[in-house]
Amino acid sequence: MKLERTHKIFNPPVRTLMGPGPSDIHPRVSAALAKPVIGHLDPEFSNLMEDIKDLLRYAFQTKNDVTFPVSAPGSMGMEICFANLVEPGDKVIICRNGVFGNRMEENVKRMRGEAVMVDDEWGRAVDPQKLEEALKANPDAKIVAFVHAETSTGASSDGKTLAALAKQYGCLTIVDTVTSLGGSELRVDEWGLSAVYSGSQKCLSAPPGISPVTFSADAIEKIKNRKTPVQSWFGDINLVLSYWTGSGKRSYHHTAPVNAMYSLHEALLMLAEEGIEKAWQRHKDHHLQLKQGLENLGMQFIVPEAERLSQLNAVTIPEDKNEMKIRSGLLQKYNLEIGAGLGPLAGKIWRIGLMGHSCNQKNVTLCTEALADLLQNA
Ligand code: PLP
């Protein structure tokens, strides 16, 4: 049998990533990827795993013992939270204000739970009042799930208030922080969040493919008391923990992506060096600069100011402009990636990311100047 295509070494173009993720990675993080592979049960790797857990606890602002990076993308972090916490018949209230709420619903159904959907407009934060009404109407609900930073619209929800309400009505929470971790205020312990998942490729600025998760003691108790086994073998926390708990006691579960873990470690180290609160502030500062530039070009944010994410700027496309032509012009002429709208917002908005290492003054200037050029000349 012959190869069907002609092959050569792959050299990716050097882009500036200002879409909804992945974001640019720092040279220190890419250098970490190229370090020599060692065995995943090597004592040196075990030490690194302990460091990663500690750095993740800092990023999540938690003391949760069960905090580790899942060897798979954010979608698997999501699935692991639902697979472990939802038992057949469990009622889960899902606050949906964008694409990722749909995926939560799909997860609950596949775990044979009952999903109660609480819908908010796309482009708005989750409304705590609607959640409270749903909690009152469903006293048998066990879990509340919501997306802290909705990447499909750029809306930020009030994680603290939503979690407090869930707790008041005796529910645990599953919280999607894929786009918020490292980019906007997130305090897992102070807000009392139960099961939280994220992704490596957004504001942490590590390569895609790893999903940090953290589980509170309450969440672990529910998992330990399950009457039915977790339906996912790979995602069963009881099994994965034998791999991620204290060095010396570790046993084989799967082979971690060793070099991806080096790079995640380096990215988390850089976040700790900067300081988490300073990183949140940097995202805010550059968002305000970008906002000014985009508004000067006639674009409008679809999310009201108080509910806006700094790291995901969703703006309308000026009328009479060809969205696809301008976006591909940015890629071809400026090597600059921005994101298109999803679902009902497809063709109507651009999603401009300012995430992690991509969130800097140089990129704000590049993006506004490149857009000004193409809006005028394309
Ligand atoms: N949740 C949110 C809010 C996201 O933005 C994404 C990815 O963009 C995901 C979940 C899924 O993450 P991944 O693409 O890494 O599987």
User: Stretch 187-194: mean pLDDT, rounded?
Assistant: 98
Question: pLDDT band for position 234 (50/70/90)?
Answer: very high
At 246 the pLDDT is 65
Q: Which token pair is 237?
A: 């926390």
Amino acid, res. 262? Y
* Alpha-carbon gap, residue 74 to 210, rounded angstroms: 7
Mutate to test the pocket of ligand 1, among 80, 179, 264 (most ligand atoms within 8 A of CB): 179
* Alpha-carbon gap, residue 149 to 175, rounded angstroms: 10
Q: Using the predicted structure, report yes or no on whether residue 245 has a pLDDT greater than 90.
A: no
- Ligand 1 centroid–CA 13 distance in Å is 24
- Ligand 1 centroid–CA 178 distance in Å is 6
Spatial CB neighbours of 87, under 8 Å, sequence gap ≥ 6: 111, 113, 226, 227, 228
Measured from the Cα of 98, ligand 1's closest atom is: 3
- What is the overall mean pLDDT for the chain? 97
* Alpha-carbon gap, residue 58 to 72, rounded angstroms: 21
At 248 the pLDDT is 66
Q: By the 8 A CB rule, do 193 and 166 touch?
A: no
User: Exposed, middle or buried by CB within 10 Å (0-12, 13-18, 19+), for 7?
Assistant: exposed
Calculate the alpha carbon distances from 219 to 81, 191, 194, 237 in Å: 9, 14, 6, 11
- The three-class DSSP label of residue 221 is helix
At 117 the pLDDT is 98
Q: By the 8 A CB rule, do 168 and 175 touch?
A: no
Nearest residue CA, atom 13 of ligand 1? 74
- Ligand 1 centroid–CA 213 distance in Å is 13
In the block, residue with structure tokens 């976040």: 271
- Ligand 1 centroid–CA 164 distance in Å is 25
Amino acid, res. 142? K
- Ligand 1 centroid–CA 205 distance in Å is 14
Q: Which token pair is 304?
A: 């009201």
- The three-class DSSP label of residue 240 is helix
Tens digits of residue pLDDT in 76-87: 999 999 999 999
Question: pLDDT band for position 363 (50/70/90)?
Answer: very high
Measured from the Cα of 147, ligand 1's closest atom is: 3
Nearest residue CA, atom 2 of ligand 1? 178
Tens digits of residue pLDDT in 92-151: 999 999 999 999 999 999 999 999 999 999 999 999 999 999 999 999 999 999 999 999
339 - beta bridge partners? Answer: 351
Examine residue 304 and say whether the peptide bond preceding it is cis (omega within 30 degrees of 0): no
Residues with CB under 6 A from ligand 1: 20-21, 73-75, 78, 100, 147, 151, 176, 178-179, 199, 208
Nearest residue CA, atom 5 of ligand 1? 151
Residue in 76, 65, 284 with CA at minimum distance from that of residue 189: 65
Q: Using the predicted structure, report yes or no on whether residue 247 has a pLDDT greater than 90.
A: no
In the chain, the N- to C-terminal Cα span, in Å, equals 46
- Ligand 1 centroid–CA 3 distance in Å is 34
For a pLDDT cut of 90, what percent of the chain falls above it? Answer: 97
Nearest residue CA, atom 4 of ligand 1? 178
